[in-house]
Amino acid sequence: MDTLFAQVLLPLALAFIMFTLGVGLTPADFKRIALQPRAFLVGTALQFISLPLIAIALVAFLPIPPIVKVGVVLLAACPGGTTSNLLTHMARGDVALSVSLTAITSLASVVTVPVVLMVALALFMGPDAPQVGMVSTGVVIFALTVIPVGLGMILRKLAPKPAVALERHSRFMSGLVFTAVVIATVLNEGIGETLRRLTQAGAVSLALNVAAMAVAFAVSSWMAFKMRQRVALTLECGLQNATLAIVVASSLLGDIDYAMPAAIYGLMMFATAGLFILWARRWSKAALRARNMAL
């Protein structure tokens, strides 16, 4: 894999995405957690526990290469992406909950991603696993996620007007950067190789996406959360930070094959999220009509 792409461009893209997340954060986003702790705790449990377990269960007995299995679990370990906030808004979900979850799970990924990655490597690669340290992985993730988020928040504090102006376009810009990363990953690998990986990782990536969203919606419904919260949790679990998975795969594991499930997932997740948004908006309109008729 091209060294410039893997070691420089991808990390810079991830840092930029996380910086745009930080620019949009205020202390109120963290204080808000105390106002709806149940929804937040359920959301973090879904991200940190349910998604990795779903991924491990999906790939455990499939006849796919171990490197693809690790890539799927790595993707599941990553937090929700910043695009989940924008799409939650489009679906008329609880944007505040989505933003708080994205922020906290992104910061916690310094610990959670290395732990899940080490488990996946031990389960599926064994002695053939690449030599990567848990601490060194955490340090790299810290440098590329926590520090940019912190810098974005500092900009928001010291220069609120430019930060607010930047925030208006930050979600769109981060979405463009994310899309560029996914497309560049595919093109860098080559269309032929991508098609080969698509046959290996396409179905399981789609299954992970659908299962994650279905479990999130089912659990939040069982907990009797409001529809806006169910929408936020469903999209938060269905829109992973695939850029982080691609960076870890290419820069730390040193093999783009680990990143192919994330690249494929990054393309598929917008289709499933789009269908869910259409359904959520129709449900919202129907509920509003029902309330108006009851008056």
Residue 58: what pLDDT? 94
pTM of the model: 0.88
Residue 194: what pLDDT? 65
pLDDT averages per 10-residue partition of the chain, 295 residues: 63 83 81 83 95 95 91 94 84 88 91 94 89 86 89 88 76 74 69 68 90 96 93 94 88 83 87 92 74 63
Which residue ranges form the domains of the chain, and what is each CATH number? 3-294 (1.20.1530.20)
Residue 295: what pLDDT? 56
Instruction: Find all residues with CB under 8 Å of 146, minimum gap 6, and list them.
Output: 106, 107, 110
Residue 168: what pLDDT? 72
In the structure encoding, which two tokens stand for residue 278, read together? 């259409």
Residue 272: what pLDDT? 93
